[in-house]
Amino acid sequence: MYWLRNIVNPTDVVYDIGANVGPYSLYAGHKIKTAKKKEKRAVVYAFEPAFSNFFPLCRNIEANELNDIVVPFPLAIGKDRHETDFFLRSTTTGSAMHGVTQPSSEGREFEPKFRQGIGVTSLDKFVQNGGVKFPNHIKIDVDGSELDIIDGADQVLRDFRLKSIMIEINANLSQGKIEEIITGHDFVEEMVEEWKGKNTFNKLYVRR
């Protein structure tokens, strides 16, 4: 909430990668909608590949009258452009810890309840589309694929229009690699929040 309240401005473009049913996207959308200065109204792109979350995400956007601000994409973000399997741990609305390509999340295998096909693209490829806006802020929470996303975002990370990154990092999977890549692009770690008992952290990085 600190990130959304104090770092994200109402004129900024936000990418919510792993949007689930939209809590971050809706908050950012309301901040943009209620801003006094509307001449540069921004946008939130909400990326959510799980079918059981995407439809409720769309309904939540509609119910909050934010569809002119929050745009949902049924896409997964990764290292490169491809199609693959997406294994759902649960089909219950709001569930998480799903697996891309294989039924595992954060290094732990699970018995999938449903398999669907998904399209995956990298951030570098996505922003090359002339019909989308470049991100000023990115939130990443995908339960294990964070390194792939960062690996596929070299050009985005180099661009000084990107001001901050809020990312959930499993230390066992990252082994410091995610942190090294991000800080190597002139970002500094501003805040850290630990998930107790998981060796997982929410980390906020801001451009120097």
Supply 168's token pair. 């959930």
Cα–Cα distance list, 112 to 18, 102, 103, 163 (Å)? 19, 9, 6, 37
Q: What single-letter DSSP state applies at residue 118?
A: E
pLDDT digits (tens, 9 = 90+) for 9-38: 999 999 999 999 999 999 999 999 988 665
Q: What single-letter DSSP state applies at residue 79?
A: S
* Neighbour-count burial of 92, counting CB atoms closer than 10 A to its CB (0-12 exposed, 13-18 middle, 19+ buried): exposed
Supply 74's token pair. 């049924």
pTM of the model: 0.93
- Contact between 43 and 69 (Cβ < 8 Å): yes
pLDDT digits (tens, 9 = 90+) for 117-176: 999 999 999 999 989 999 999 999 998 899 999 999 999 999 999 999 999 999 999 999
Supply 141's token pair. 């929470």
CA distance linking residue 12 with residue 73, whole number of Å = 18
Supply 52's token pair. 């059981």
- Contact between 93 and 21 (Cβ < 8 Å): yes
Per CATH, domain 14-78+121-207 is 1.10.3720.10: no
Cα–Cα distance list, 91 to 18, 26, 75, 141 (Å)? 16, 22, 17, 18
Return mean pLDDT, the chain.
94
What residue spans define the domains of the chain?
A: 14-78+121-207
pLDDT value of position 196: 82
Phi first, then psi, for residue 7 (nearest 5°) are -105, -45
Supply 36's token pair. 């006094």
Cα–Cα distance list, 105 to 42, 101, 110, 160, 191 (Å)? 33, 10, 8, 32, 25
